[in-house]
Homo-oligomer: A and B are copies of this chain.
Amino acid sequence: MNVFAVEGLPEIEPGDDIASLIAERVDLTPTDIVCVASTIVSKAEGRQADLSEFEPGEQAERIAEQVGDLADEEKDPRFAQAVIEESEELLMEFPIMLAVTTFGHITINAGIDRSNVPDADLLLLPEDPTASAQRLHEALGVPVIVTDTSGRPFRHGQRGVAIGWAGMPAARDWRGTYDRDGKELEATVQAVVDELAAAANLVTGEGAGGKPVAVVRDWEFGEFDGSDDLFRDEDEDLIRPALKEYSHAGD
């Protein structure tokens, strides 16, 4: 498996045709997988926003006040309002806003970025990353994964993760296959889009590198059943109810 970044992409602006910009810079082969950082998908889709567009409601004011007290500095309730508007719900308001985005991804601040955003205060995640991946997939003719860098429970730091994908399943289902002793594997669903997004992040990096697109070459999904179930629904999630009960305990 070979993973490399696409070189020489320009600063992306609203309306830009990312697929063409990629196709002009790399000769894709039919078995390639293209991983695109959500930041440029958002830029092309015009997801830049200014704080002035968000009118803080009661919840946003409360959150900004709590966070402000903790940090001992003024916090802008309009940012909290942006997070709320991008979310289905908040699992935790304080000291972090842990959001379920409208498309089901659980992440801090609903994935809103304040870095790498010229001429705007904020960059929101793509409205529907699966649809974005589908459009790129159709234009490029190979599977596409839209990625983000995000944190996760229990571990420090962030890693690349898939938030949308098209042209391939999200996971390899190993159930029904056998181990080295001929025993059937119990419950192994390998979330390959997340593993591919993590691999891509190793070559794109964060910060000013200017490399938002990675190509994965010579990796095969193989002869597996596929699954597109990546985001846990609330009723299959054991962590979510605990967080909700806990964080609303003081209500």
Contact = CB atoms under 8 A, between A and B. Distances in A.
A207 B232 CA distance: 24
Most chain B Cβ neighbours within 10 Å, of A11, A239, A243, A247:
A239
A181 interface: yes
Contact of A192 (B186, B202, B231, B246): B202
A44 interface: no
Interface of A: 1-4, 11, 92, 95-96, 98, 106, 114-118, 149, 152-160, 170-172, 174, 177-181, 183, 185-186, 188-192, 194-196, 198-199, 201-203, 205-208, 210, 219, 227, 229-232, 236-243, 245-247
Contact of A202 (B181, B219, B240): B219
A172 B201 CA distance: 12
A186 B115 contact: yes
B190 A201 contact: yes
B179 A115 contact: yes
A86 to B, nearest CB: 17
Contacts of A227: 156-157
A126 B236 CA distance: 31
The A interface, classified by DSSP as helix, strand, loop or mixed, is mixed
A84 to B, nearest CB: 19
A246 B237 contact: no
Contacts of A239: 153-154, 239, 243
Contact of A199 (B177, B202, B242): B202
A202 B191 contact: no
Contact of A1 (B2, B192, B242, B247): B2
A201 to B, nearest CB: 6
Nearest to A195: B198
Nearest to A244: B242
A190 B178 contact: no
Contact of A210 (B180, B190, B207): B180
A1 B154 contact: no
Nearest to A94: B238
